[in-house]
Amino acid sequence: MWRRGANLEGDTANFIETEQLLEFDGHISSFLQVRGSIPLLWEQIVDLSYKPRLNIINHDQTPKVVEHHFNDLLQRYGGCVAVDLTDKHGDEGLLSNAYAEEMQKLPNVRYISFDFHQSCGNGNFDNMKLLYDEISEDFEKQG
């Protein structure tokens, strides 16, 4: 099996931290983004298909897994905005719905669901403005 999602401690199988530094007119600014697997218990079976089927593992610890994951992020980075870019149909749609349900239990993390595939498919990347409009206030709060 190909491990995806999170373990019972809330650590995700895929976690990437990217920092962008900008120097302008003697001032330095930093923007930090973390990206990774949706922190639920789920897996995909490796096969030759373009989109392997995924399996969401129903476990009574799922709420604690998600809470632990975001508490760790909040401790490390401060305020968080979770942007869910998954497809809202098929297996990914089920995963996105399960994620949204768990995120409703975390009032200290802002959750945004944005169907990237639907909005930006066929090269319609101008539609990213829709997401930017939704998160621009969060950028302004950061200064």
Residue 48: per-residue pLDDT: 80
Residue 1: per-residue pLDDT: 45
Q: What residue spans define the domains of the chain? A: 2-142
Low-confidence ranges of the chain (pLDDT < 50): 1
* Cα–Cα distance list, 4 to 7, 19, 48, 55, 83 (Å): 9, 24, 17, 10, 18
- 24-49 per-position pLDDT tens digit: 999 998 889 999 999 999 988 777 88
Residue 49: per-residue pLDDT: 80
Residue 50: per-residue pLDDT: 80
